[in-house]
Structure 1
Amino acid sequence: MATFIIEGQHQLKGSIQPQGAKNEALQILCAVLLTAEEITINNIPDIVDVNKLIDLLRNLGVKINKIGSGSYTFKADDVNLKYLESEAFKEDGKGLRGSIMIVGPLLARFGKGYIPKPGGDKIGRRRLDTHFEGFINLGADFRYNKEDHFYGVEAKKLKGAYMLLDEASVTGTANIVMAAVLAEGRTTIYNAACEPYLQQLCKMLNRMGAKISGVGSNMLIIDGVDSLGGTEHRMLPDMIEIGSWIGLAAMTKSELTIKNVSWNDLGQIPNVFRKLGITVEQQGDDIHIPAHTDGYEIQSFIDGSILTISDAPWPGFTPDLLSIVLVVATQARGSVLIHQKMFESRLFFVDKLIDMGAKIILCDPHRATVIGHDFKSSLKATTMTSPDIRAGVSLLIAALSAKGKSTIHNIEQIDRGYENIDERLRAIGAKITRIDSN
């Protein structure tokens, strides 16, 4: 188990380039299974979760070549379906949440898709009903082995259908879309997710020959085609990492420029940080955060009541950044209520921040009130363990602003979502050391 040693209270300065989007990569990589032709994908982040998925595809028989930094070609012209029923697949598949999204493409192209119960962050219940109800609507037969926690769907030929999703699940929508593009007839998906990463998937599929309309809305109409071809695709920058760097700049009173952020795809992110009193400047397609030497003040609602920041389906605020917002609020002037609606365990890392001296009231599993210190009282260094990707990087930001030397264990969780984070932070002045366990 690797560890970070962080010396806090150093001002950072410079520019940082966001990595390719993790959540987009998990969808796009699975889509290569929909065609026997070659697909080139650029700006793939070099992170644990994505590399695990690439290994899974390679084990499935996909021919994969690295052609440059973050650029690969994929050719799924000889897929090994027997691997899906092997013990090796059961072990490989359950170690990664994103593995669920191979099921839709496999079902569409080969008539069957299997997956063990996927892993991922322990942030609460993350059910798969939306995925499988969508496949059933398209005519697939569903089976579940409770002893092995092994899911399977099979169909001789999928047929288009109308469906109203019970939740606007991003991965569920992506999986159903990838199944529907090769189904017979028209599929209408209402209450579809419409995140930029899902839009990216739909645009890529359309370049491959799919017929998807309504991209960017919550109603997708898909007219099935017989086959798809190859294409080239480039990932968006990771909006969660961009939000993390905004929070880091504010907490460390640093002047940072975040390069090439794709402003049009950031949605509410800049505005939410501005509500916390942070100056977020647009410079072309970059974000500039000036040094907040005098701190930052949380806005109130118009009637004077306490600001509430909550997550919502796109174009609402992403739940993946609520942990960052919570940490940033610990040093603001004023108070804020953080309402995490989606996952019931995501706020449980606040006990670590309370140990560091933060004033946080955990109201219930979904809500926390933060009373900011206004930098009049620094967070204190401590030893902690990263529970998941987003809480891990939030604790890292807290440690970089804290007085003294902090230790964060289990940083493999951070590595799952952030590429070479310690090297990139050192390049802008952070005092951070990685200690490997072996």
Structure 2
Amino acid sequence: MSTFKIEGGHRLKGSIQPQGAKNEALQILCAVLLTPELVTINNIPDIVDVNKLISLLKKLGVKVEKIKQGTYTFQADDVNLKYLESDEFKVDGRGLRGSIMIVGPMLARFGKGYIPKPGGDKIGRRRLDTHFEGLINLGAKFRYSKEEQFYGVEADRLKGVYMLLEEASVTGTANIVMAAVLAEGRTTIYNAACEPYLQQLCKMLNRMGAKISGVGSNLLVIDGVEKLGGTEHTMLPDMIEIGSWIGLAAMTKSELTITNVSWDDLGIIPNVFRKLGITVEKRGDDIHIPAHVDGYEIQSFIDGSILTISDAPWPGFTPDLLSIILVVATQARGSVLIHQKMFESRLFFVDKLIDMGAKIILCDPHRATVIGHDYKSTLKATTMTSPDIRAGVSLLIAALSAKGTSIIQNIEQIDRGYERIDERLRAIGAHIERVP
């Protein structure tokens, strides 16, 4: 177990390139199971969660070859179905929430898909109903062992159907889409998730021979095909990491350039940071954040009422960045209400920020009011523990802006989603050390 030792209060300078998108990678890697042909994937982030999934694919019998940093080939032409029901798989699959998305491809191609109750961030209930209800609609038989917490779906042949999803679950939509592309007939999915990463999955599947229309909307129409072929795919940059670096620049009064961000896929993310008073400049496909030496001021709504920033399914604001927004608001001029609608435990990390001197009122599990310091009172260094990926990076940003030396424990949570974060931060001037 390692920790981060961080000496805060230093300004950063330079450029940083975002890694490949974690949430896209978890979908795309599962999709290689849909074909026996070779699939090449570029810009894969070197992070714990993705590496765990690659290891899982290898144990399933997928041939994996690393071509260079970030580029791998995958060939699922000899899949080991026995591994799916082994005790080893029940341990391996439980360690990663993204493993749930192997179920749809395995069911579609091999007639069976199993998964233990997956792990992941402890951010509240994250039910799997959307995944399995969609697969049941396609004709799968569902079974669940309560003692082993082991799920299974089986079908001789899936059949297309119309379905209205109860929630626009990104991973749920991905699982259903990957199953439907090999189903017999037409599948229509209404209230489908339409995040850029889901769009990327659909575009990749279409290049493999799938017939998916409505990509980018919440109404997907999928005409099943007999088989899919190989392809090459490149991941988008990680929008959550991009938002993290915007927040880091503002909090540390640093001038930073975030390169190759794929502006067209960022949605409202830049404008939400602008509502906090942060200058977000578009320079080609880069983001430039000037040094906010005079601070930044939170806007109000048109009628003068306090600004509320809340999460919502795409094209709304992603819940993964609310933790960053909350931290950045602690040093702004003005106040903001953060409303985390989608997860009921994600705001509980604010007690660490309060210990550092932040003015935050936790109204309930879903809402927190932040009264900004306007740098009149800096955050104080402390020792804290990272509860999940996004809260962990938020605490890291707070520590980099704080006066004194902070210690962050349980940094394995941060490593799950951020590639070599300490090395990359040192390259732009951060005083951060990984301590065994």
Question: Shift of the alpha carbon at 1:112?
Answer: 0.2
1:191-202 paired onto structure 2 within 5 Å = 191-202=191-202
Amino acid at match of 1:55: S
Which aligned runs of 4 or more in structure 1 are off by greater than 2 angstroms?
Answer: none
| Residue identity matched to 1:130 | T
Letter in 2 for 1:354: I
- Aligned counterpart, 2:409: 409
Question: Using the alignment, how far apart are the partners of 1:383 and 1:67 within structure 2?
Answer: 40
Measure the CA separation in 1 of the matches of 2:221 and 2:24.
21
Structure-1 separation of matches of 2:133 and 2:383: 44
Q: What whole-Å deviation, never above 9, does each CA across 1:14-37 have from its counterpart, x for those lacking one?
A: 000000000000000000000000
Partner Cα distance (1:88, 1:55) in 2 = 12
Report the secondary structure of 2:74's partner residue.
strand
Give the Å deviation of 1:76.
0.1
Q: Deviations over 1:138-175 (max 9, x none)?
A: 00000000000000000000000000000000000000
The AA in structure 2 aligned to 1:140 is A
Residues 1:423 and 2:423 are matched in the alignment: yes
Per the TM alignment, residue 78 of structure 1 is displaced from its structure 2 partner at its CA by 0.1
Letter in 2 for 1:399: A
**Match for 1:174: what amino acid?**
A
Show the counterpart of 1:30: 30
Counterpart AA for 1:312: A
Q: Tell whether 2:217 aligns with 1:217.
A: yes
Aligned alpha-carbon RMSD (Å): 0.2
1:161 is matched with which residue?
Answer: 161
In the alignment, the residues of structure 2 paired with residue 435 and residue 5 of structure 1 have an alpha-carbon distance, to the nearest angstrom, of: 7
Correspondences of 1:127-206 after superposition (within 5 Å)? 127-206=127-206
SS of residue matched to 1:83: helix
Is 1:259 matched up with 2:245?
Answer: no
Post-superposition Cα deviations, 1:64-103, rounded to whole Å, max 9, x if no partner, equal 0000110000000000000000000000000000000000
| Residue in structure 2 matched with residue 281 of structure 1 by the alignment | 281
Question: 2: CA distance between counterparts of 1:362 and 1:161?
Answer: 44
- For 2:361 and 2:37, locate their aligned partners in 1 and report how far apart those are by CA, in whole Å: 54
Aligned match of 2:327: 327
Q: How does 1:232-251 map to 2 (within 5 A)?
A: 232-251=232-251
Q: Report the counterpart of residue 230 of structure 1 in structure 2.
A: 230
SS of equivalent residue, structure 2 residue 65: strand
Structure 2 spans left out of the alignment, 5+ residues: none
Looking at structure 1, the residues matched to 322 and 2 of structure 2 have their Cα atoms a distance apart, in angstroms, of: 25
**How big is the shift at 1:402?**
0.2
Specify the alignment match of 1:379 in structure 2: 379
Distance in 2 of aligned mates of 1:161 and 1:57: 29
**Matches of 1:15 and 1:361 in 2, distance apart?**
35
In structure 1, distance between residues paired with 2:153 and 2:2 = 38
SS in 2 for 1:423: helix
Cα deviation for residue 206 of structure 1 reads 0.1
Unmatched 5+ stretches in structure 1: none
In structure 2, distance between residues paired with 1:203 and 1:224: 15
The Cα shift of 1:375 comes to: 0.3
Tell me the distance in 2 between the aligned counterparts of 1:30 and 1:433. Answer: 34
1:372-416 Cα shifts (integer Å, max 9, x gaps): 000000000000000000000000000000000000000000000
The percent identity for this pair of structures is 88
1:132 deviates by 0.1
Residue 227 of structure 1 and its aligned partner are, at CA, apart by 0.1
AA at the equivalent of 1:285 = D
CA distance in 2, matches of 1:58, 1:298: 49
1:271 is aligned to 2:271: yes
Measure, in 2, the Cα distance between the counterparts of 1:311 and 1:106.
Answer: 32
Matches within 5 A, 1:84-163: 84-163=84-163
Deviations, residues 229-287 of structure 1 (Å, cap 9, x unaligned): 00000000000000000000000000000000000000010000000000000000000
CA distance in 2, matches of 1:75, 1:28: 13
How many residues in Structure 1 have an aligned counterpart in Structure 2? 436
Q: Distance in 1 between matches of 2:288 and 2:18?
A: 13
Shift of residue 207 of structure 1?
0.1
Q: Secondary structure at the match of 2:206?
A: helix
Question: How is 1:34-113 mapped onto 2 (pairs within 5 angstroms)?
Answer: 34-113=34-113
Counterpart Cα distance in 2 of 1:407 and 1:224: 53
User: Aligned partners of 1:2, 1:363: CA distance in 2, in Å?
Assistant: 33
Scaled by the length of structure 1, what TM-score is found?
0.99
Distance 2:123 2:130 in 1: 18
The SS at the match of 1:323 is: helix
Alpha-carbon shift at residue 294 of structure 1 (Å) = 0.1
Amino acid in structure 1 at the alignment position of 2:243: G
Please give the alpha-carbon distance, in whole angstroms, between the structure 2 residues aligned to 1:402 and 1:267. Answer: 30
SS across alignment from 2:429: coil
